[in-house]
């Protein structure tokens, strides 16, 4: 609906393409492929499995930049692989569903991505979720303001990211362990601790109404209060100010879109991947540690391959995590549970199988999905098999029926049967299926 074009990239990338793009932890989780043929014995790897869809996209953009349109919007739904310890909703192979827009620095890109992702989740039946929003430049501004040298920003963010998990004292210790000066650690922690109090309203509401979204006016008040806190803290800090400006534009331009009810500022959001340069986003739902997806702006990643920077921004949804939540909450529509076939053809005598297949062909021509039972088992066993698969109808072809050009059709749920003329049977079964479907 947003004009994204489909793209697929190979599962296997050159190993150098991936190494150094995901941070230290990412490097270790990459599946590496052994050289082939005579080089196999060397034990060296030259290829690796795709770790996300963003780095391969950047590689493709860098390689084909001259041939691509100035603005390139693509979607991609493919598996990625991470040698992680499997857990609930975390697999070693999982699908990412990505949308990215390449070639523009306009915050309109972020707004449209947030809208697109919001609409996907609403369409899937999600009601309460937040698109948490932060900005890498604002984070840099915070850290600069607290006197943390630029070369330690990465270390500091890793520690601050754990605030909700290990508390202020734990983060303080980790900051000191990571060589952040005590004074800076205290200053940045005092900022985040104060910030935490702003969310009280939200926490109360979450506990009270786990399924209802925060009313829009309260969400906006909350964002305003958070914004004011951050502005006060980074006052006269150029990088932080630019980050705040970016966030304000995104919030403002979203005001009349469907994203606006879900956008929530979250200054503790850091996102692990090292390639982000601007706005960063992450989707959370109550009851699930971790996120359903995330994204952000990465204006320098293409340049790491071609030497020529190209602005870019993207959003990624994790398919399996979404399916886990939908499964646990019973969000799948019942139509997904239908059997693989509408009708099964059964014969009494294997000599009639060729006739059964021809008859199946005429029913398929009517649009029915038809199973032919291929073995000379007892009819009772055949019907039981159809029933076990949830196939609603069985068409019985005995020698009498074949001679008369008829077929006996059993409705397994209603436990009724009627004799139909073979040429008309397909259409009549189709009608009966429609009735079943309407009944739900």
What part of residues 385-414 is at the interface with its own copies (CB under 8 A)?
385, 388-389, 391
Residue 255 binding its own copies, by CB under 8 A: yes
Taking the least distance from each CB to its own copies, the nearer of 188 and 356 is 356
14 binds its own copies (CB under 8 A): no
Among 55, 189, 226, 341, binds its own copies (CB under 8 A): 341
The three state secondary structure string of the chain is: CCCCEECCCCCEEEHHHHCCCCHHHHHHCCCEEECCHHHHHHCCEEEEECCCCHHHHHHHHHHHHHHCCCCEEEEEEEEEECCCCCECCECCEEEEEEEEEECCCCCHHHHHHHHHHHHHHHHHCCCCCEEEEEEHHHHHHHHHHCCCCHHHHHHHHHHHCCHHHHHHHHHHHHHHHCCCCHHHHHHHHHHHHHHHHHCHHHHHHHHHCCCCCCCHHHHHHHHHHHHHHHHHHHCCCHHHHHHHHHHHHHHHHCCCCHHHHCEEECCCCCCCCCCCCCEEEEEECCCCCCCCEEEEECCCCCHHHHCCCCCEEEEEEEHHHHHHHHHHCCCCCHHHHCCCCCEEEEECCHHHHHHHHHHHHHHHHCCCCEEECCCCCCHHHHHHHHHHHCCCEEEEECHHHHHHCEEEEEECCCCEEEEEEHHHHHHHHHHHHHHHHHHC
Minimum distance between the CB of residue 14 and its own copies, rounded to whole angstroms? 13
Binding its own copies by CB under 8 A: which of 16, 24, 40, 204?
Answer: 40
Q: Which of residues 262-291 bind its own copies (CB under 8 A)?
A: none
Which of 19, 23, 65, 106 touches its own copies (CB under 8 A)? Answer: 106
Query: Is there binding between residue 25 and its own copies (CB under 8 A)?
Result: no
Sole binder of its own copies in the list 13, 21, 22, 31 (CB under 8 A): 31
- Total residues at interface with its own copies (CB under 8 A): 71
Choice between 267 and 359, CB closer to its own copies: 359
Does residue number 12 form part of the binding site for its own copies (CB under 8 A)?
Answer: yes
Residue 198 burial by Cβ neighbours in a 10 Å radius (0-12, 13-18, 19+): middle
Under rule CB under 8 A, residue 65 binds its own copies: no
Q: Choose which of 289, 375, 418, 421 interacts with its own copies (CB under 8 A).
A: 375
Piece of 34-42, 126-134, 265-273, 283-291 that binds its own copies (CB under 8 A): 34-42
Which of the ranges 144-152, 202-210, 347-355, 404-412 carries the binding residues for its own copies, by CB under 8 A? Answer: 347-355
Residue 157 in the binding site for its own copies (CB under 8 A): no
Binder to its own copies among 350, 404, 418, 434 (CB under 8 A)? 350
Contact range with its own copies by CB under 8 A, out of 78-86, 154-162, 261-269, 423-431: 78-86
Does residue 331 bind its own copies (CB under 8 A)? no
> Which of 19, 168, 372, 427 is the binder for its own copies (CB under 8 A)?
372
Among 97, 99, 101, 175, indicate the residue that binds its own copies (CB under 8 A).
101
Name which of residues 185 to 224 contact its own copies (CB under 8 A).
none
Q: Is 128 in the site for its own copies (CB under 8 A)?
A: no
Please tell me whether residue 43 binds its own copies under the rule CB under 8 A: yes
Give yes or no for residue 111 binding its own copies (CB under 8 A): yes
Distances (CA, A) of 333 to 40, 125, 319, 440: 49, 10, 17, 11
Question: Minimum distance from CB of 312 to its own copies (Å)?
Answer: 12
């Amino acid at each position: 609906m947003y004009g994204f074009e489909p793209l697929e990239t190979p599962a296997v990338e050159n190993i150098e393409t991936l190494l150094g793009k995901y941070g230290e932890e990412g490097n270790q989780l990459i599946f590496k492929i052994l050289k082939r043929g005579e080089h196999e014995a060397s034990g060296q790897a030259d290829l690796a499995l795709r770790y996300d869809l963003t780095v391969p996209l950047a590689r493709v953009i860098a390689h084909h930049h001259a041939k691509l349109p100035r603005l390139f919007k693509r979607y991609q739904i493919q598996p990625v692989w991470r040698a992680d310890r499997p857990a609930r909703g975390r697999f070693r192979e999982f699908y990412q569903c990505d949308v990215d827009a390449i070639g523009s620095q306009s915050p309109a890109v972020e707004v449209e991505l947030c809208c697109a992702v919001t609409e996907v989740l609403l369409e899937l039946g999600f009601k309460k979720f937040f698109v948490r929003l932060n900005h890498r430049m604002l984070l840099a501004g915070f850290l600069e303001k607290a006197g943390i040298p630029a070369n330690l920003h990465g270390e500091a963010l890793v520690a601050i990211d754990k605030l909700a998990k290990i508390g202020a004292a734990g983060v303080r210790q980790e900051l000191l362990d990571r060589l952040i000066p005590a004074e800076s650690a205290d200053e940045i922690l005092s900022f985040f601790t104060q910030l935490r109090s702003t969310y009280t309203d939200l926490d109360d509401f979450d506990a009270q109404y786990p399924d209802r979204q925060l009313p829009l006016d309260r969400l906006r008040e909350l964002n305003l209060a958070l914004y004011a806190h951050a502005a006060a803290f980074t006052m006269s800090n150029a990088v932080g100010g630019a980050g705040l400006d970016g966030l304000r534009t995104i919030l403002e331009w979203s005001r009349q879109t469907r994203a606006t009810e879900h956008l929530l500022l979250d200054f503790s959001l850091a996102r692990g991947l090292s390639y982000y340069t601007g706005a960063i986003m992450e989707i959370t739902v109550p009851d699930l540690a971790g996120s359903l997806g995330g994204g952000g702006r990465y204006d320098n990643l293409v340049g790491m391959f071609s030497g020529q920077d190209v602005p870019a921004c993207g959003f990624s949804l994790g398919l399996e995590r979404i399916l886990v939540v939908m499964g646990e909450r019973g969000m799948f529509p019942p139509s997904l549970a239908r059997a693989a076939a509408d009708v099964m053809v059964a014969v009494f005598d294997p000599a009639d199988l060729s006739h059964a297949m021809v008859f199946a062909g005429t029913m398929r021509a009517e649009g029915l999905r038809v199973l032919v039972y291929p073995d000379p088992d007892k009819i009772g066993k055949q019907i039981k098999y159809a029933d076990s698969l949830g196939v609603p109808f069985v068409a019985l072809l005995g020698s009498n029926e074949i001679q008369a050009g008829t077929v006996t059709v059993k409705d397994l749920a209603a436990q009724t049967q009627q004799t139909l003329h073979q040429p008309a049977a397909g259409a009549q079964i189709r009608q009966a299926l429609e009735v079943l479907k309407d009944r739900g």
